[in-house]
Chains A and B, each alone.
Chain A
Amino acid sequence: MKLKNWCVGFTLLGMVCSVSAETLTVYSAGPKGLSKELVAGFEKETGAKVSLYQATGGKIMARYQAEKSNPHADVMISSSLGHAITLTKAGELLAYQSPNAKHVPDFLKSATYVSQGTAVLAIAYNTQSKLPVPTTWSDLTKPIYKNQVTMPDPRKSGSALTLVEGLSEQMGSKAWTLFSALKANGILIPGANKAALNPVLQGAKSVVFGAVDYIALDLKRKGETINVVYPTDGTVLAPRPIMILKSTKHAVLAKKFVDYMLSKQGQTLVAKTLILPARSDIKSDRPGFGELKLINFDTVSAAAHAEQTRDKFANIMGQ
Chain B
Amino acid sequence: MTLQREKRDYSWGMVVDVDKCTGCQACVLACQAENNVPLNLQDRFERARVMSWIRVERYWEGEFPDIKARFIPIMCQHCENAPCEPVCPVFATYHNNEGLNVQVYNRCVGTRYCANGCPYIVRFFNYWEPVWPEAFRNHLNPDVTVRSRGIMEKCSFCIQRIRRGVRNAERENRDVVDGEIQTACTQACPTDALVFGNFMDEDSKVSKMKKDDRHYTLLPHLETDPNVVYLAKIDTDKSAGESHG
Q: Do A and B bind each other?
A: no
